[in-house]
């Protein structure tokens, strides 16, 4: 066994540049795949966390008749006196925050500029809205008794050239099917670093939202955050009651789950393409080695080396290339993933419907992905070496000895 490795090592050393290039091809391919796997997981994981935190929550409680698409403000579709339900939910140990929200569609107008927005009435004191409080760039956060203040996102402020203290007209739908319009003061400008959300969402205190929409003591939904999102099914079952619908994050964000599943399937195809290219390099290297060493193989078989031993010789060489390539790829990949994990990279306003992606994506490589890639890279490299190894092992000694 030692002799096998010694010979393999020395054989690879005959043409160091070629060997290094082959291992480098494996390394680069693997590093690229590690980066892509990290970015993909980072993007999907980030999108899910972002969407839960900003939009869906881990759980939502709605009136059984509520239709999210219509954003209905009809009392029969809303939760009446939501505070009592909120208190019940808060009493559960898994719940970290529960707060009522009222959702309405509106149009923000300033001079000749107007834009359709989603108006969300929130309880400013709730921990669930901490993400918006922390995102205040200028001005101040809302207070519960603010009667004409709103928060707008930075992209919207930039578009309308609005600053804190400026006034803007906001028209909203009301419960009776009409609209109401009022001048509001920009109390603060916020950013969640998710342009697709920030440019479309306007916040006001829940009480004011209930007044302007005519919803009175009603809320569209109760937004719930849990200690761990995996607790959602259990909590949902516990708070299920007639007249309400309780939705979990996985149900509300099916598009993200499906997109991730699709992306993972696509990644397998991408793995095969990239590793197919690196495998071709390794195959080519070993085929050239077989041609160069044909007479030598003839000598070895003449003095009694069996076909399987010739095969083992070339597979050992391939194994060494694969090991070097995988170790190099792992080091290079982890460095690159580390850089993108720390700094991320800017993608800008890239939100898809139902999927809130941050303006900056951070790579997040999972151990399972890295392990899987190591195994796949190793296996494909060895598989690619089978052809030249078999070719060498099938050489007839008498023909091999006469090779030039």
| Contact region with other proteins (CB under 8 A), list: 62-70, 238-246, 298-306, 369-377 | 298-306
Binding-site member from 65, 127, 302, 331 for other proteins (CB under 8 A): 302
* Residues 6 or more apart whose Cβ sits within 8 Å of residue 227: 94, 95, 96
300 touching other proteins, by CB under 8 A: yes
201-216 residues labelled b (16+ CB within 10 A) or e (exposed):
bbbbbbbbbbbbbbbe
Q: What are phi and psi of 61, to 5 degrees?
A: -110, 130
Q: Given the complex with other proteins, which of 6 and 76 has the nearer CB atom? A: 6
- Residue of 191, 301, 358, 377 interacting with other proteins (CB under 8 A): 301
**Could you say whether residue 228 binds other proteins (CB under 8 A)?**
no
Nearer to other proteins, 224 or 300 (CB): 300
Q: Which is nearer to other proteins, 367 or 404 (CB)?
A: 404
d(CA 359, CA 39): 13
Q: Provide, rounded to whole angstroms, the least separation between the CB of residue 26 and other proteins.
A: 23
Asked if 70 touches other proteins (CB under 8 A), the answer is no
Is 292 near other proteins (CB under 8 A)? no
Closest CA to 108 of 201, 208, 191: 201
Of 260 and 317, nearer to other proteins (C-beta) is 317
Residues 59, 248: contact at Cβ < 8 Å?
yes
DSSP 8-state assignment for residue 352:
B
- By CB under 8 A, the residues from 187 to 216 that bind other proteins are none
Asked if residue 17 binds other proteins (CB under 8 A), the reply is no
**Shortest separation between residue 324's beta carbon and other proteins, angstroms:** 18
Phi first, then psi: give them for residue 169, nearest 5 degrees: -90, 135
18-26, 95-103, 265-273, 301-309 -> range binding other proteins (CB under 8 A) = 301-309
Is 1 a binder of other proteins (CB under 8 A)? no
Q: Does residue 7 belong to the site contacting other proteins (CB under 8 A)?
A: yes
Nearer to other proteins, 76 or 394 (CB): 394
> Pattern 246-285, binding to other proteins, x per CB under 8 A?
----------------------------------------
C-alpha distances (whole Å) from 80 to each of 71, 183, 221 are 16, 27, 10
Cα–Cα nearest to 275, from 349, 384, 193: 384
Q: Which helix (H) or strand (E) holds 137?
A: strand 136-139
Task: For residue 226, list its beta bridge partners.
Answer: 95
Q: Kindly identify the residues of this chain, within the stretch 306-345, that bind other proteins according to CB under 8 A.
A: 306-307, 309
Strands (E), 145-260: 149-153, 167-173, 179-190, 201-205, 218-219, 221-226, 244-248
Across-strand partners of 352?
A: 355
Shortest reach from residue 323's CB to other proteins, in Å: 19
Longest dimension (CA), the chain: 98
Q: Which of 303, 342, 353, 367 binds other proteins (CB under 8 A)?
A: 303
Question: For binding to other proteins (CB under 8 A), which residues are involved?
Answer: 3, 7, 10-11, 13-14, 295-296, 299-307, 309, 397-398, 401
């Amino acid at each position: 066994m030692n002799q096998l490795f010694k010979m393999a090592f020395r054989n690879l050393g005959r043409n160091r540049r070629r060997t290094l290039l082959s291992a480098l091809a494996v390394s680069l391919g693997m590093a690229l795949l590690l980066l892509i796997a990290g970015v993909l997981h980072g993007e999907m994981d980030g999108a899910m966390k972002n969407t839960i935190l900003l939009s869906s929550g881990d759980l939502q409680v709605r009136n059984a008749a509520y239709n999210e698409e219509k954003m209905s403000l009809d009392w029969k579709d809303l939760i009446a006196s939501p505070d009592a339900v909120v208190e019940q939910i808060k009493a559960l140990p898994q719940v970290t925050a529960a707060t009522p929200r009222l959702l309405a569609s509106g149009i923000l107008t300033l001079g000749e500029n107007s834009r359709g927005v989603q108006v969300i009435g929130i309880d400013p004191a709730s921990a669930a809205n901490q993400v918006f409080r922390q995102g205040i760039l200028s001005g101040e956060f809302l207070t519960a008794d603010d009667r004409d203040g709103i928060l707008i996102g930075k992209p919207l402020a930039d578009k309308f050239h609005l600053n804190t203290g400026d006034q803007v007209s906001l028209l909203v739908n009301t419960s009776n099917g009409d609209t109401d319009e009022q001048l509001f003061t920009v109390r603060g400008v916020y950013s969640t670093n998710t342009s697709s959300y920030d440019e479309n969402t306007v916040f006001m205190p829940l009480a004011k939202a209930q007044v302007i929409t005519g919803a009175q003591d009603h809320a569209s939904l109760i937004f719930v955050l849990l200690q761990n999102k995996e607790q959602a099914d259990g909590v949902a079952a516990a708070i299920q009651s007639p007249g309400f619908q309780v939705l979990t994050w996985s149900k509300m964000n099916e598009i993200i789950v499906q997109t991730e599943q699709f992306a993972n399937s696509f990644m397998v195809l991408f793995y095969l393409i990239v590793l197919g290219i690196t495998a071709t390099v390794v195959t080519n290297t070993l085929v050239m080695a077989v041609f160069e060493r044909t007479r030598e193989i003839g000598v070895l078989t003449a003095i009694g080396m069996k076909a399987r031993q010739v095969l083992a010789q070339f597979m050992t060489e391939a194994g060494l290339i694969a090991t070097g390539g995988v170790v190099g790829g792992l080091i290079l990949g982890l460095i690159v993933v580390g850089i993108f994990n720390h700094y991320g990279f800017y993608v800008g306003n890239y939100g898809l419907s139902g999927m809130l992606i941050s303006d900056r994506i951070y790579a997040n490589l999972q151990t399972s992905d890295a392990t899987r890639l190591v195994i796949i890279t190793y296996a494909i490299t060895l598989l690619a070496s089978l052809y030249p190894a078999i070719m060498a092992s099938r050489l007839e000694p008498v023909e091999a000895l006469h090779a030039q």
